[in-house]
Structure 1
Amino acid sequence: MKSMIDSHIHLDHYKDEEIEAIISSSPTIQSFISVSYDIESARRNLLLSEKYSKVKPAFGYHPEQSLPNENELANLITWIESNKEKMVAIGEVGLPYYLRMEAGDPSFPLHGYIELLEAFIILAKKWEMPIVLHAVYDDAPVVCDLLEKHSIEKAHFHWFKGDSKTIQRLIRNGYFISFTPDIVYEEEIQEIAKVFPIDQIMVETDGPWPFEGPFQGLVTHPKMMNDSVSFLSKQKGMSIQEVYRQLYHNTKCFYSL
């Protein structure tokens, strides 16, 4: 049995019957790190963790949406604080790269998002929790600045994309990244995997986000991570058993599971 952990999934975005099917058909998946989008998402992830012991929730506010108003943010922070013992991380939080690109507006205001992210970073530091980050391309160095400012050590950049300078910065700081199934067909992602140390890597699905290539038209399922492991095995020149063991160890230790 090749034990794995899905280090980043939005289980709350699946239908109830899909969640049941995913968990029952994934005996080798020891844990699902289910990240949250907003307070309703966090509440559902909490309920899922109470129903399924393998579900490990992370609570946060996804950046690819409008900023919460003052009351919404206060309610979210209060709720997270009252449930912090039940989560394994702060997440998913970060900066709205794709929202800005879709808007096509170079003056898109980032300052409110930066303050929101910093508030979550401060909580992660205060509670000694890992933080799960949505920070790609030009946003990644900004996020690194904030993490370094608050001396954050446990940072997980999910589905990371960025330049070589930022990649080396992440490596030096001991930050982790995770690869989705698109590693088997996206050259950009393959190039990042080539240089990133195996002991700072995890795998994820980011489900239910759909994938292309050999996964075109399929519902995203944790079994797709086997293809990611197979690719990493060939790229790193390691046996597939070694890669399974290393990735499982990385994720288990990072999230204190």
Structure 2
Amino acid sequence: MLTDSHTHIDTIRFQEDREDVIQRAIEGGVTRMIDPGCDLASSQAALQLAQEHPGVIFAGVGVHPHDASTYTAEVEAQLRALTKEPEVVAIGEFGLDYYRMLTPRDTQRTVFCAHLDLAREYDLPCIIHVRDSHEDVTELLRAHGKGLRGVFHCFSGTVQQAEECLSTCPGFVLSFAGPLTKQGNELPEVARMVPLDRVMVETDSPYLVPKPERSRRNEPLFVRHTAQKLADIRGMTLEEIAQVTTQNAIRLFSLGDTDATI
């Protein structure tokens, strides 16, 4: 059984066939999905989906760095209310994105720290977005993230950056998405060195379609391609990688008994 540790099936791109997408995933062995919010509205939508699909979909609540300028005291108060619901298993997705720079760096950093505070207060893991911002993310986690746990979602950095993430944040794991299935990056080397108890797989759907799919839209079922690539790199079977990554997701997000997946 596979876990898609990061999918945005609440988005409008799944509006026409969302239930079919969820059912295809379940029938294909993807029995757990984490849907992180990117702003208040999507956090509310993710929670609603989780409530409609108990034990299958779980929600994260947070504000993506692209939307960090929307993070107000009122938004924070509403996120706090959502966080109290049992289907909410994480704070995020939040982080720093210096590639598109849709929000000033200072605002992104302030909102990043506000999310760390929420994660600490509610004892929930962090789902962290990092793009062209590795140094600042690790700096803030050293200063404000001690004792927290979480995931560097869709990890896309170098071996050196991966080693720094793992050593700086002992409670964090790395999650691989579609880019692992493609050429032109160091991700195979990262996937080879990361400890097995600190790795997960995801789609980040509807984005980052993996090979060999030709679809214009990613979906949770396609996480099997990333899992298969990870298995090939590690010299393991798909079933073994599915078990390991699902156990890691269950442990990180407190989804229940890991033995239930075996």
TM-score (norm 1): 0.88
Distance in 2, Cα, partners of 1:236 & 1:210: 22
Residues 62 and 93, structure 2, Cα contact 8 Å, conserved in 1? yes
Greater alpha carbon shift after TM alignment, 197-206 vs 182-191? 182-191
The answer to whether structure 1 residue 184 and structure 2 residue 185 are counterparts is no
Distance in 2, Cα, partners of 1:66 & 1:146: 16
* Residue aligning to 2:23: 24
| Corresponding pairs, count | 245
Distance in 1, Cα, partners of 2:83 & 2:98: 28
* Residue aligning to 1:90: 91
| SS at 2:78 equivalent | helix
| Pairing partner for 1:130 from 111, 125, 130 | 125
The answer to whether structure 1 residue 64 and structure 2 residue 63 are counterparts is no
The answer to whether structure 1 residue 40 and structure 2 residue 41 are counterparts is yes
Distance in 2, Cα, partners of 1:211 & 1:23: 17
Alpha-carbon offset, residue 212 of structure 1: 6.0
The answer to whether structure 1 residue 149 and structure 2 residue 143 are counterparts is yes
Give a deviation string over 1:68-102, Cα, whole Å, max 9, x none: 2xxx52121111111212210000100122213xx
Alpha-carbon offset, residue 168 of structure 1: 1.0
Alpha-carbon offset, residue 256 of structure 1: 0.4
Distance in 1, Cα, partners of 2:247 & 2:231: 16
Residues 210 and 218, structure 1, Cα contact 8 Å, conserved in 2? no
Residues 34 and 45, structure 1, Cα contact 8 Å, conserved in 2? yes
Considering only aligned residues, what root-mean-square deviation do their CA atoms show, in Å? 1.9
Alpha-carbon offset, residue 253 of structure 1: 0.5
* Residue aligning to 1:249: 247
> 2:250 is matched by which residue type in structure 1?
K
Kindly tell me: are residues 227 and 212 of structure 1, through their superposed partners in 2, closer, same or farther at Cα, counting changes over 3 Å? Answer: closer
Alpha-carbon offset, residue 186 of structure 1: 3.1
Kindly tell me: are residues 170 and 46 of structure 1, through their superposed partners in 2, closer, same or farther at Cα, counting changes over 3 Å? Answer: same
Distance in 1, Cα, partners of 2:191 & 2:253: 21
Q: Percent identity?
A: 25
The answer to whether structure 1 residue 171 and structure 2 residue 172 are counterparts is no
Greater alpha carbon shift after TM alignment, 231-240 vs 189-198? 189-198
> 1:144 is matched by which residue type in structure 2?
T
TM-score (norm 2): 0.86
Greater alpha carbon shift after TM alignment, 86-95 vs 43-52? 43-52
Gaps of 5+ in 2: 256-262
